[in-house]
A = this chain, B = another copy of it.
């Protein structure tokens, strides 16, 4: 929920003639989004202190909304609050990453199961489409775009599960892992096998083969650990 809205930051608010009411983003929300981006992109390194006045000046906001954003991200687990000593960007150990992926495997397996049960054919076709586009980026070796669609597919499967709480927890884990994955997205990753697994994932989903989908997702994320282990 909070994790994926991302209505601030990088999104370039294409000022088209949307029907709905114009989005009114509270400052603390916008600031939270920017901080998230800064953490993921490594502008704020793990362990770095977040000076309220400094960062506040940099973003052009006062301390009040900045502090509110910090509390929000602290609850999300991206920032650590040290009483009377401010906030630091959370440091994730190797075990942390392994543990996160362990949980993620379980969560995505569940999501896969529910997606098979609840997903409409239309939604599944949409995922296939994202997958096809991802393949194009893969062949063109456009890593950043590939990386983004890769994540998008996983999120899409979770959305298909039609379980808001599952999506929320998944989002938190993804958010925490994003920094690591961002680092990895340019490394000498074993790209080919990941792509192959994705192909299998889509196929299993289309066939609504619950058991197979769960197995592949599980294996895929086990592979993610191997792909990511080296770079930590």
Size range of the chain A interface in the assembly: 35 or more
Candidates B26, B64, B163; contact of A64 at CB < 8 Å: B64
CA distance A1 to B77 in the complex (A): 9
Write the A86-124 contact mask toward B (1 if CB under 8 angstroms, else 0). Answer: 000000000010011011001101100010000000000
> At the interface with chain B, which of A66-74, A140-148, A183-191?
A66-74
Q: How far is B72's CA from A69's CA once the two chains are assembled, in angstroms? A: 9
Most interface-central of A64, A71, A77 (chain B CB within 10 A): A71
For residue A222, CB closer than 8 A to chain B, the reply is no
**B residues near A166, Cβ cutoff 8 Å:** 99, 102-103
A93 CB to closest chain B CB (Å) equals: 10
Closest CB-CB distance, A191 to chain B, in whole Å?
Answer: 26
Distance, CA A107 to CA B99, complexed state (A): 13
Residue in B2, B81, B100, B114 whose CB lies within 8 Å of A74: B2
Would A75 and B2 count as touching, CB distance under 8 A?
A: yes
**CB-nearest residue of chain B relative to A105?**
B110
Is A24 in contact with chain B by the CB < 8 A criterion? yes
Q: Which of A48-56, A128-136, A169-177, A196-204 contacts B (4 or more CB under 8 A)?
A: A169-177
Interface residues of A (CB under 8 A from B): 1-2, 24-26, 28-29, 64, 67-69, 71-77, 81, 83-84, 96, 99-100, 102-103, 106-107, 109-110, 114, 163-166, 168-169, 172-173, 176
